[in-house]
Structures are given as structure tokens and as C-alpha cells.
Amino acid sequence: VQLQASGGGLVEAGGSLTLSCTASGRTFGTNHIMGWYRQAPGKLREMVATIELGGRTNYADNVKGRFTISRDNAKNTVYLQMNSLEPEDTAVYYCNCRVVTITTDYDYWGQGTQVTVSS
């Protein structure tokens, strides 16, 4: 599975950005969860939002109500709409695809895209 992310950039506090990530390779027919994670300097990578194949979503508490994750299964693409951005949202954002099988899960990562929110 290969993941290509795009959409990062520099935005002022209160602004919006949309990230997108397209998966290619062996995702067709698999049970997989798409998601976004982020890593700020000096911090551990953290989950931002995930979305299952059937559309069920999960969000980190600190982005609930501000970020929306969605997916287009026909395009194998996941989106992250980020509104009301705060300087604390500054991080490298990574797209993730977790392929779930009976025996184990496999994680695939995109290359990361920088999001910088200025105060």
C-alpha cells in the first residue's frame, strides 16, 4: 500500500486547511481503516482522526468539533477538513492506512505533510 498525502501549508490561527491522502496498492477488498496522525517537534506521534471502511469515525478530544475526516472509497482517498486551526495544531501530519486481518494488523504511512498555524 502506498499513501500520497497533500494539502499542508501555512495558515493563520482561526483559518482552515484540507488534507487529502490517496491510497494505492492492495487496499481493494481489504478491511482497512484510514486515518490521520500528527507529530509536533519534541512530541510523540498522536492520532488525530480515523475512519473505518463503513464510515465510522473517531477523533482525538482536542480536535472534536473542529476537524472532520471523510473518505471517498471509489477514489481510495481520505480527507481531513481542519477548521478553527490553533497554533497547537502545528505538526507534521501523516496519513495512515491500517489493514485489519484475522491474525494481525498492518500499518502503512504516507510521507507526512507540514501544517503550520501562526498566532
Rounded Cα gap, residues 43 and 60, in angstroms = 16
Whole-number percent of the chain with pLDDT over 90: 80
For residues 88-97, give the mean pLDDT.
97
Reported confidence tier of residue 101, pLDDT bands at 50, 70, 90: confident
Model confidence over 19-73: pLDDT tens digits? Answer: 999 998 876 667 889 999 999 999 999 999 999 988 999 999 999 999 999 999 8
Which residue from 21, 1, 45, 30 is spatially nearest to 95, judged by alpha carbons? 21
* pLDDT for position 27: 63
Pairing of strands 105-109, 91-100: antiparallel
* pLDDT for position 36: 98
Rounded to the nearest integer, the mean pLDDT of the chain is 93
Work out the widest C-alpha separation in the chain, in whole angstroms: 46
The three cell numbers of residue 1 are: 500500500
For residues 75-83, give the mean pLDDT.
95
